[in-house]
Homo-oligomer: A and B are copies of this chain.
């Protein structure tokens, strides 16, 4: 497995290619900030290796082997992110770039020991679930904050957009994973929300609310 191959598998997975859905070369090229012609080349190569199903002009999807490989890389990425935050005091907007490098380190023992050191975390700093060693994915019962009904309560469990600017915005406004949020009111005009979070009332734009995952209190 080369680094490049691993990055392609990861990108295809993130675009939904794990559910035997066909992903277009264009979509992959955009996700990876490369050119469609390069994607075609790699599609053939990965197809040769039995990691993707590729039909010309139809796009690619991951085979079972491809899914497992993608999950193992995502597992490493997210475990390293937890490590950086919990053990080295990185902030959640700093971890992605470094984890992009660390995810390619080849040593099964290393990642298992990191997992153990962190006490087998289930979620990464952005609230994304960490696949288990045998490639199982923990799905969560979560909704976007923007889709919660008025007066409902929930706990903030993840972000959809994990870009640096968004994460910094959340920090600045003291919005953190684990916070309890109650929807007080919705403004029809611009879809903004009035919420109570950890005691304080505040107003939140639709843009923000549609990028925050919340777990409904049952």
**Interface residues, chain A, with chain B CB atoms under 8 Å away:** 84, 87-90, 94, 97-98, 101-102, 105-107, 109-110, 113-114, 117
Contact = CB atoms under 8 A, between A and B. Distances in A.
Contacts of A94: 109
B114 A88 contact: yes
A103 to B, nearest CB: 11
A53 to B, nearest CB: 31
A117 B98 contact: no
A166 B94 CA distance: 41
Given A87-B117, A98-B105, 8 more contacts: A88-B114, A88-B117, A89-B113, A90-B113, A97-B107, A101-B106, A101-B107, A102-B105
Majority secondary structure, A binding face: helix
How many of these chains are in the complex? 2
A95 B160 CA distance: 37
A98 B107 contact: yes
Contacts of A84: 110
Nearest to A113: B88
A172 B175 CA distance: 54
Nearest to A98: B107
